[in-house]
Copies of this chain bind each other. A is one copy, B any other.
C-alpha cells in the first residue's frame, strides 16, 4: 500500500508538498550548507511563500532535522532490504556503495560532520538521535562480526573502524573527483570502496 493510501485528498496534497519541501531542502543543503541556506531559498525553490513554509515546519532547525531523518530512514530501509545471506562485510560494502551513489546523484549532504553548530543542533533533536542510534547499533554488530571473521582488521579498535567507515560516506574526495577528474560516477564509487577497505597501499603482504 502506498503511504498515501489512507489519507484524504487534502492530506495527500499536504504530504506531497511536504516531500517536495524536503527534496528542495536536501538539494540546497547539499550545495550551500546549513548556515547559508535561507528559508527564502527553500520557499522559492518549492514555489511557495515563507509563511506557508512555516505552516509545515516550525523552524529552520526543525526543517533540516526532518530532512536528515528522512535520509537516515532511507539508509535503514536499504539495510533492511538487503539479502539476509550476505556476509557482514558485504552488507557494509553495499551500504557504503549505496550512500556514495545517492550522494553522487545529487542526494545527500550528510551534515553531521560539517560543523559543531549543526552537530549540536541535531544532537538536541531527539527524534533524529533515536534513528541514528538504531542504525548505529545495527552497523556496530556488523563491524564486530566482520572483525571476528577476519574480513575487517581485528587489531583495530572497533571505534576506529566504525567512525572511519561513517566518514567515508561524506568523504570530500568524492566531490574533488567529480569536479576535477575525468572519472564517471561508477568509477568513483569503485575506487572509493577500494581505498576504504584496501587502503592506499593496495593489497599486499606485510
Contact = CB atoms under 8 A, between A and B. Distances in A.
Contact of A200 (B35, B112, B116, B165): B165
A152 B201 CA distance: 4
Nearest to A158: B181
Interface residues on A, range: 35 or more
B200 A152 contact: yes
Counting every copy of the chain, the complex holds 2
A117 interface: yes
Contacts of A200: 152-153, 156, 161, 164-165, 196-197, 199
A153 B114 CA distance: 30
Between A33, A35, A166, A200, the greatest number of chain B beta carbons within 10 A of the residue's beta carbon is seen for A200
Interface string A136-161: 00000000000000011111110111
A5 interface: no
Contact of A115 (B32, B161, B165): B32
A170 interface: yes
